[in-house]
Structure 1
Amino acid sequence: MANEHHGTIFEEQAEVLAHVGHPGDQFVLRVLAPKTAAKAKPGQFVHLRVSDERPLRRPISIMLTDPERGTVDLLYKAIGEGTQLLSGRKVGDTIPMLGPIGRPFDLSDSSRRYVLVGGGVGIPPMIFAAMSIYGESDCVVFAGSEVEFPFALKPSTMLLPGVSGNAILAIRSLEERGIPSRLASNAGLYGCYEGHVPNLARDYLAALDEAERSRCVLLSCGPHPMLHAVARVGREFDLPTYLSLEEHMACGIGGCAGCVVKTIEAGEEKYRRVCVDGPVFEAGLLPEFA
C-alpha cells in the first residue's frame, strides 16, 4: 500500500480570491495556488495555517480546481477555534498552504459507474470526482446535509431509478453538465429526500437491474456514522467501496503518525496514516467498517 504520491506536495502562499459565508457556518474559500491546482486529484486535501496565532494547520478537502487559472476551491465549516479564525480571512490575504496531500480516489476505470455519496463537508470530494470524470465515465452524486446546501441548486430534469418524486433538487453545476445528482436531509429541506443520504443511494442501487448494478463502485466521504452506513450498502450489494476518512491531523504529511488507522491486509494487521496512506481506503481493509 505504498503511497505513489510522495514528492508532489507543494508549499504555497495561497492568495484569497473569494470567501463566501453560507448558512450553518459554512464557507466556500477560493485561493490562488497554481502548483496545487495543477496536481490535485479528487480525494486529496490541503493543509492550511489558519493564522499566525495558530501554527497547527487544518486539513480541508479540495472541492474543485481550475488548473488554467491556478485556483483551488474549498468548503469548510467553522466549528472550532481554528476554522473560526480561518473564516475571518479576507480577499487579498495570503494563507500558508501545503498540498495536494493524500491518496486520491481511483477513477481510472471508464467501464464503471461511480456512485458518489457525500455528507456535510464530505461533499466536496464528490463534486471534484464528478467534475474530473465528466465526459469520460458514468457517475451519480448523492449529497446529504442537515443545514442548507452551500451550492446553487435547481430542479433536476434527469430521472433516477428508485428516487422518489419529492427528491427533485440537484446541484446546478452538475446538472448543467448532465451529471445526475440528488440531495438528502433530515431537516425538512425542500426538494430533498427525507432521510440519510446512504439510504437514498441504497434506494437507487436497489432499483437498478443486476447488470447495471454490477458496474457500480461506491465512493464516499463524510462523518463516520455515514461511512458505516455506506459500507453496509456496499456489502449488501457486493460492490467495491472506497471511503475517504476524516481524522484529526497534526503534521498532515506523515511525519507524526498522529492519524493512524488499523487495516487488515493479506490477513496481517497494520497501522496506516490517514494523511498520506489515505485518506481514501478500500472499505474491506478497515476492520472498523467491515
Structure 2
Amino acid sequence: MANEQRGTIFEEQAEVLAHVTHPGDQFVMRVKAPKTAVKAKPGQFVHLRVSDERALRRPISIMLTDPERGTVDLLYKAIGEGTHLLSERKVGDLVPMLGPIGEPFDISDLSKRYVLIGGGVGIPPMIFAADNLHGRDGDCVVFAGSEVEFPFALKPSATLLPGVNGNAILAVRSLEERDIPSRLASNAGLYGCYEGHVPNLARDYLAALTQEERDRCVLLSCGPHPMLHAVARVGREFDLPTYLSLEEHMACGIGGCAGCVVKTVEDGEEKYRRVCVDGPVFEAGLLPEFA
C-alpha cells in the first residue's frame, strides 16, 4: 500500500501556468510541478491549498503530466467554497500542492484492452490512463459522460466502434489525433453524444464484442458513486475485472486522519481502508457497497 512507502509524496509550490474556464463552472489548470510530473501515475491525485485563508486542502485528480516540461494538468469543477476560491487563482500564482497521492490504476498488462469509463470530474484519470497506455503501445478505449458541455476540444471520430450507434460520432480530439478511440455520452441532449448514461454506452460496446475480444477487457472507472455502481454491474454482467477510483471528501489527504475510510472485504475479513492512500483505486469485488 502507498501508506507503507516513504518519500513518494512531494510538497511543491506549484506555479499556475494556465487557467481556462469552461461551461458548467469547469476549469482546467496547468501548473509547474516538476517532481509530481515525473512521479505521477494514472489514478493518483494532488492535494491543493486553495487559499491562504483555508487550511484544508482539496483533492484534484491528475489529468495529464509532461515530465520533460515539469507540468501537471488538472480538471475540476467549482462546486463549493474551496474550489470556487481555487478558480480565482491567476497565472503566476503559487499554489501549495502535495502529490502524487494514492494507489494508481494497474495498467501494466499490455495484453489487455482497458475500457476506460469516466464521468464528470472523473474523466481526468481516464485521459491520463489513455495517454500512458498510448505511450507504451497499449490497447484502450475511452468512454466519457457529462451533463454539461465537455471541457475538451471535440471532433467527429473516424473510428467505428462495435455497438456504438451512428448518433454518437464525437470523440475527444486530443485522443482521436493519436488514434485512441473515444466516445461521449450525455443526458443533456449534447450533439454527437450517446443519449444516456456512460456505463450504458460502455455496456453496448462490450455486448457487441466477440467473446474472445471481451475476455481481454478490463474496466477502469472514475466518477460519481451512482455511475460507479452501474459500472460495477456491467463488470459483473460480463465477468470482467473492474477497478473503481472513489471520489470522497478528504481532510489531510495523506492517511493521517482516517476521515475517508471505506469498508472492504478481503479474504473474508472486513477491513476499513483509507481512500486517500490505500485507494483511491479499489477492485470492485473488494467493496461491499458495489457488490
Report the TM range for the smaller structure's normalisation: over 0.9
Contact 1:14 1:95 (C-alpha < 8 Å) held by counterparts = yes
Question: How far off is 1:275 after superposition?
Answer: 0.1
Runs of 4+ in 1 over 3 A off after TM superposition: 1-6
Query: CA offsets, 1:36-67, max 9 Å, x none?
Result: 00000000000000000111000000000000
Gaps of 5+ in 2: none
Q: 1:73 to 1:195 in 2, by over 3 A?
A: same
Question: How far off is 1:137 after superposition?
Answer: 1.2
The equivalent residue for 1:208 is: 209
Question: How far off is 1:6 after superposition?
Answer: 4.2
The equivalent residue for 1:241 is: 242
Contact 1:78 1:87 (C-alpha < 8 Å) held by counterparts = yes
Question: How far off is 1:2 after superposition?
Answer: 6.5
- Measured on the aligned residues, the alpha-carbon RMSD in Å equals 0.9
Letter in 2 for 1:184: A
The equivalent residue for 2:257 is: 256
Contact 1:186 1:195 (C-alpha < 8 Å) held by counterparts = yes
Residues 17-166 of structure 1 mapped to structure 2, 5 A cutoff? 17-134=17-134, 135-166=136-167
Query: CA offsets, 1:123-166, max 9 Å, x none?
Result: 00000000001042110000000000000000000000000000
Residues 167-206 of structure 1 mapped to structure 2, 5 A cutoff? 167-206=168-207
Letter in 1 for 2:98: L
Query: CA offsets, 1:231-252, max 9 Å, x none?
Result: 0000000000000000000000
Letter in 2 for 1:242: Y
* Distance (whole Å) between structure 1 residues aligned to residue 131 and residue 5 of structure 2: 21
* Distance (whole Å) between structure 1 residues aligned to residue 88 and residue 2 of structure 2: 38
Question: How far off is 1:71 after superposition?
Answer: 0.2
Letter in 1 for 2:92: G
1:283 is the counterpart of 2:268: no
Contact 1:5 1:102 (C-alpha < 8 Å) held by counterparts = no
TM-score (norm 1): 0.99
Q: 1:202 to 1:30 in 2, by over 3 A?
A: same
Q: Matched residue of 2:123: which SS? A: helix
Letter in 2 for 1:105: F
Letter in 1 for 2:256: G
* Distance (whole Å) between structure 2 residues aligned to residue 2 and residue 214 of structure 1: 30
Letter in 1 for 2:265: I
Contact 1:244 1:279 (C-alpha < 8 Å) held by counterparts = yes
Contact 2:2 2:103 (C-alpha < 8 Å) held by counterparts = no
Contact 1:5 1:103 (C-alpha < 8 Å) held by counterparts = no
Contact 2:3 2:255 (C-alpha < 8 Å) held by counterparts = no
Letter in 1 for 2:57: R
* Distance (whole Å) between structure 1 residues aligned to residue 164 and residue 261 of structure 2: 37
Letter in 1 for 2:184: L
* Distance (whole Å) between structure 2 residues aligned to residue 91 and residue 67 of structure 1: 20
Question: How far off is 1:7 after superposition?
Answer: 2.4
Gaps of 5+ in 1: none
Q: Matched residue of 1:133: which SS? A: helix
Q: 1:65 to 1:112 in 2, by over 3 A?
A: same
Letter in 2 for 1:33: A
Contact 1:13 1:95 (C-alpha < 8 Å) held by counterparts = yes
TM-score (norm 2): 0.98
May I ask how many residue pairs the two structures share in their alignment? Answer: 290
Question: How far off is 1:3 after superposition?
Answer: 5.0
* Distance (whole Å) between structure 1 residues aligned to residue 48 and residue 3 of structure 2: 22
* Distance (whole Å) between structure 2 residues aligned to residue 270 and residue 214 of structure 1: 30
Letter in 2 for 1:60: I
Contact 1:39 1:100 (C-alpha < 8 Å) held by counterparts = yes
Contact 1:3 1:103 (C-alpha < 8 Å) held by counterparts = no
Contact 1:47 1:97 (C-alpha < 8 Å) held by counterparts = yes
